[in-house]
């Protein structure tokens, strides 16, 4: 009796562990588009089209290699609608000796898969996802006995483990981290090279029609659709990044420019997260560019840190803390997500631009997610459940393992400082320094109080005041609290009044 090899939608690698010892004659690969997965949250239309198209292309490639593949399309008559129901159907159909699956990337799906054995009376073998660079045990050992985790120290271990940018046991150039060179403000005229823009083929066109028909009420634009949907295309996108944008990745990593949604970022998270690219090959390509002299160290180290450091660290935090991490709310934030996050009108140009680009591209770059959208969610006290759901829905690279720690830990400080050493709260001055958004805004970034003042300015201080009992002891916030102590009662009252007025309008659904 052969095995069923289940491949989930984010496991589209030919070297995925579930395929390692496949018997072409006896085994069947099972892939399924299921309504439950597409609707348990209402994913962005472009995200669904991307995953279904990449899945269909991957299945075609497997067939081309001579494997027996069963592929359930969403609109197939006998599609059973969920992973478990599809597996039950597969068992009836194939009568397998066992089911082999690579560990799902999300806790929710892992729990489902773990129940299949008892539920269906079949052996289920769950294999490690060795496409990540740190195994669960390795991260657990590193984290053990540390009250607070810090990415920087974990990252250094990963650099040593993989020998990336190392000179013996010393970091290349003498420093581990060149972030202080990576804060250039945007220039007036930026000639940013275009991101990868692929042409759609018949498979993608069919999927786009399906999405329009079945998920019309989901957020976001499905067209124009330019994502890579095969490994070859994703490799082309990687090459394009290394050749055209990597050298400036560091300089403009934190910069935001109106009308430039892609900047010098790599736009590779979509492909790495579903297995079309491996994280190590991206890291090695960047290192090679440095060694060849085509990209400077600050850029290459910065990019490598995102993948070898942040990506693995975030995943480690997720698995170490699930399922409790889902209900963290250290700051007791309760406010509902305002309509402007779904494209409702707003006078705040920075938010308007970031939401618009998110809707069009199912992408926003890191600093938009962190310092505009995330900063607002934090200082406005939005409820972590609502913020998490939004981020999970709107980005084509969003899976809970990566979305949740970034939202709960990084932007909302809802884990009380376990992942990040301080809340990423900032006033309008930061956004003005790193972007050109403020010049087209109805609010004045230089004004601190009153109707015309930039809301980030008074909301920042109101956030500090509201959360004083929980945040005052944080050494990295000392300066802010000392400034607050020096403010007179009148100024404090103006801040609180402005914040109350703003929240009342926003909660009442008025345009803010
Ligand atoms: P680049 O800026 O080019 O970075 C290179 C790569 O590094 C990325 O492709 C990604 O693989 C990795 N990376 C960088 N930062 C992080 C990080 N903080 N966590 C994990 N990986 C990182 N990333 C996702 O992949 N999925 C998400 O759902 C997601 N949600 C986020 C939510 C918030 C609130 C924040 C602040 C960040 C989130 N990120 C998420 C991380 C980061 O913003 C994206 O990985 C990045 O913007 C993707 O674009 P890029 O490929 O151009 O990245
Ligand atoms: C995101 C997603 C969507 C929308 N649909 C499917 C699907 O129909 N079939 C599938 O195999 N995977 C899908 N995915 C990706 C899964 O959500 C992802 O593989 C799991 O969450 C990993 O735990
Ligand atoms: Fe955003 Fe304030 Fe600048 Fe307007 S003035 S774009 S609200 S930071």
CA of 416 to the centre of ligand 2 (A): 31
Average per-residue pLDDT in the chain?
96
What Å distances lie between residue 75 and 72, 211, 460, CA to CA? 8, 11, 48
pLDDT digits (tens, 9 = 90+) for 164-180: 999 999 999 999 999 88
**Contact residues for 365 (Cβ-Cβ < 8 A; gap 6+):** 256, 261, 262, 263, 265
pLDDT digits (tens, 9 = 90+) for 267-322: 999 999 999 999 999 999 999 999 999 999 999 999 999 999 999 999 999 999 99
By most ligand atoms within 8 Å of CB, the mutation choice from 366, 371, 425 for ligand 1 is: 366
Instruction: Residue count of the chain, please give it.
Output: 512
Query: Cis peptide before 426, with omega less than 30 degrees from 0?
Result: no
339-507 folds as: DNA Cyclobutane Dipyrimidine Photolyase, subunit A; domain 3 (1.10.579)
By most ligand atoms within 8 Å of CB, the mutation choice from 379, 455, 457, 458 for ligand 3 is: 455
Q: Nearest CA to 87 among 117, 129, 57?
A: 117
pTM exceeding 0.95: yes
CA of 317 to the centre of ligand 1 (A): 15
Residue ID of nearest Cα to ligand 3 atom 7: 348
- Is the predicted pLDDT of residue 479 greater than 90, yes or no? yes
**Contact residues for 214 (Cβ-Cβ < 8 A; gap 6+):** 38, 74, 75
pLDDT of residue 185: 86
Taking the CA of residue 445 as reference, the ligand 3 atom at the shortest distance is 5
Which ligand neighbours the alpha carbon of 396 most closely? 1
pLDDT of residue 191: 86
pLDDT of residue 182: 81
Which ligand neighbours the alpha carbon of 81 most closely? 2
pLDDT digits (tens, 9 = 90+) for 208-240: 999 999 999 999 999 999 999 999 999 999 999
136-195+245-321 folds as: 1.25.40
Taking the CA of residue 279 as reference, the ligand 1 atom at the shortest distance is 11
Residue ID of nearest Cα to ligand 1 atom 42: 366
**Could you tell me the pLDDT band of residue 147, with boundaries at 50, 70 and 90?**
confident
CA of 280 to the centre of ligand 1 (A): 16
CA of 408 to the centre of ligand 1 (A): 14
Which ligand neighbours the alpha carbon of 307 most closely? 1
Where are the domains positioned within the chain? 3-127, 136-195+245-321, 339-507
Which ligand neighbours the alpha carbon of 440 most closely? 3
Residue ID of nearest Cα to ligand 3 atom 6: 438
pLDDT digits (tens, 9 = 90+) for 86-127: 999 999 999 999 999 999 999 999 999 999 999 999 999 999
Residue ID of nearest Cα to ligand 1 atom 13: 306
pLDDT of residue 190: 80
Q: Nearest CA to 82 among 106, 109, 100?
A: 109
CA of 399 to the centre of ligand 2 (A): 9
Q: Nearest CA to 477 among 424, 408, 409?
A: 424
- Is the predicted pLDDT of residue 188 greater than 70, yes or no? no
pLDDT digits (tens, 9 = 90+) for 415-464: 999 999 999 999 999 999 999 999 999 999 999 999 999 999 999 999 99
How far is residue 161's CA from residue 280's CA, in Å, rounded to a whole number?
A: 12
For residue 358, how many other CB atoms are within 10 A of its CB? 26
How far is residue 264's CA from residue 239's CA, in Å, rounded to a whole number?
A: 14
Q: Is residue 87 within 8 Å of residue 70, measured between CB atoms?
A: no
* Binding pocket residue ranges, ligand 2, CB within 6 Å: 8-10, 32-34, 37-38, 43, 48, 51, 104-106, 109, 399
pLDDT top residue among 275 and 186 = 275
* Binding pocket residue ranges, ligand 1, CB within 6 Å: 265-269, 272-273, 303, 306-307, 310-311, 314, 365-366, 369-370, 374, 391, 395, 397-398, 402-403, 406-407, 410-411
CA of 372 to the centre of ligand 1 (A): 15
Which ligand neighbours the alpha carbon of 354 most closely? 3
For residue 118, how many other CB atoms are within 10 A of its CB? 9
Residue ID of nearest Cα to ligand 3 atom 3: 438
Percentage of the chain exceeding pLDDT 70: 100
- For 3-127, give the CATH class: alpha beta
């Amino acid at each position: 009796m052969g095995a069923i090899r289940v491949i989930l939608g984010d496991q589209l690698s030919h070297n995925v562990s579930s395929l390692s010892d496949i018997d072409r004659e006896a085994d069947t690969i099972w892939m399924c588009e299921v309504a439950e997965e597409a609707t348990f949250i209402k994913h962005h239309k472009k995200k669904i089209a991307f995953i279904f198209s990449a899945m269909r292309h991957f299945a075609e490639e497997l067939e081309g290699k001579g494997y027996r593949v069963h592929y359930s399309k969403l609109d197939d008559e006998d599609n059973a609608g969920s992973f478990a129901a599809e597996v039950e159907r597969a068992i009836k159909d194939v009568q397998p000796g066992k089911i082999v699956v690579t560990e799902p990337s999300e806790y929710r799906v892992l729990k489902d898969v773990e129940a299949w054995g008892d539920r269906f009376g079949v052996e289920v073998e769950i294999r490690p996802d060795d496409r990540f660079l740190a195994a669960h045990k390795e991260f657990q050992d590193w984290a053990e006995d540390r009250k607070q985790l810090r990415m920087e120290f974990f990252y250094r271990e990963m650099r040593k483990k993989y020998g990336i940018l190392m000179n013996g046991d010393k970091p290349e150039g003498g420093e581990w981290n060149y972030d202080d060179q990576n804060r250039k403000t945007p220039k007036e005229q930026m000639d940013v090279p275009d991101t990868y823009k692929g042409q759609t083929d018949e498979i993608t066109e069919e999927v786009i029609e399906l999405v329009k028909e079945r998920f019309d009420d989901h957020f976001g634009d499905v067209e124009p659709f330019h994502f890579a949907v095969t490994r070859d295309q994703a490799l082309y996108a990687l090459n394009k990044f290394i050749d055209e944008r990597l050298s400036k990745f560091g300089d403009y990593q934190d910069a935001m420019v109106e009308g430039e949604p892609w900047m010098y970022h790599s736009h590779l998270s979509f492909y790495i997260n579903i297995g079309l690219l491996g994280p190590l090959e991206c890291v090695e390509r960047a290192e090679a560019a440095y060694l060849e002299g085509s990209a400077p160290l600050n850029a290459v180290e910065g990019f490598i840190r995102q993948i070898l450091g942040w990506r693995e660290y975030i995943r480690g935090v997720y698995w170490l803390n699930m399922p409790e991490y889902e209900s963290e709310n250290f700051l007791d934030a309760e406010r509902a997500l305002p309509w402007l996050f779904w494209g409702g009108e707003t006078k705040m140009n920075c938010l308007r631009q970031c939401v618009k680009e998110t809707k069009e591209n199912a992408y926003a770059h890191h600093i938009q997610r962190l310092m505009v959208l995330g900063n607002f969610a934090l200082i406005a006290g939005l409820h972590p459940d609502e913020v998490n759901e939004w981020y999970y829905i709107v980005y084509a690279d969003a899976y809970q393992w990566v979305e949740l720690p970034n939202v709960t830990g990084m932007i909302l400080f809802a884990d009380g400082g376990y992942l990040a050493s301080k809340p990423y709260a900032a006033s309008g001055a930061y956004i003005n320094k790193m972007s050109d958004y403020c010049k087209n805004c109805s609010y004045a970034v230089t004004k601190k109080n009153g109707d015309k003042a930039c809301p980030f300015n008074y909301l920042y201080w109101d956030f500090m005041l509201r959360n004083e009992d929980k945040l005052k002891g944080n050494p990295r916030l000392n300066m802010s609290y000392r400034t607050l102590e020096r403010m007179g009662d009148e100024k404090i009252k103006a801040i609180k009044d402005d914040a109350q007025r703003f929240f009342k309008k926003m909660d009442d659904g008025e345009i803010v």
